[in-house]
Amino acid sequence: MRCAGLGLLLWALLSPAWAAPSAVVLRCAVAYMPQRSTWVREVRIDWDSKAIRRVRIDGLEPYGFSLLSHGVMTAVDNERIQIDLRTRQWQSDFRGHASGQGRCETVPG
């Protein structure tokens, strides 16, 4: 049921952009500390009528992902990533050694 709820959340966020949603691509500008560097990250979320089926970060498909009340949580290499789809915020952590925060925008069509 949570999968369908998140799909409906995505639909509500993005309904003006797609008539029949199947994927959304987000571009996130993430500031990493303590290095003070900014990286642009790409997130692709694919879904069908029942659930989110695939998440990709910078073209890499993580081993798995978890659904949160407003988004998704996953990991790529040592980076634990949380993406809030309602506020379009990125938060990540490199196991306490560094962290990242940023805003995401929907990539058009």
- Alpha carbons 58 and 28: distance in angstroms, whole number: 10
- For residue range 38-52, list pLDDT tens digits in order: 999 999 999 888 888
Starting at the edge strand that comes first in sequence, how are the strands of the sheet with 65-67 ordered?
A: 52-57, 37-47, 23-33, 99-106, 89-93, 79-84, 71-76, 65-67
Judged against a pLDDT cut of 90, whether residue 109 lies above it is answered with no
Q: Compute CA 35 distance to the chain's CA centroid, rounded to the nearest angstrom.
A: 23
Nearest to 42 by CA among 60, 24, 61, 28: 28
Question: Can you tell me the mean pLDDT for 24-50?
Answer: 94
Q: What is the pLDDT of residue 18?
A: 44
Two tokens at 30?
């993430």
Judged against a pLDDT cut of 60, whether residue 3 lies above it is answered with no
pTM of the model: 0.78
Q: What is the pLDDT of residue 40?
A: 98
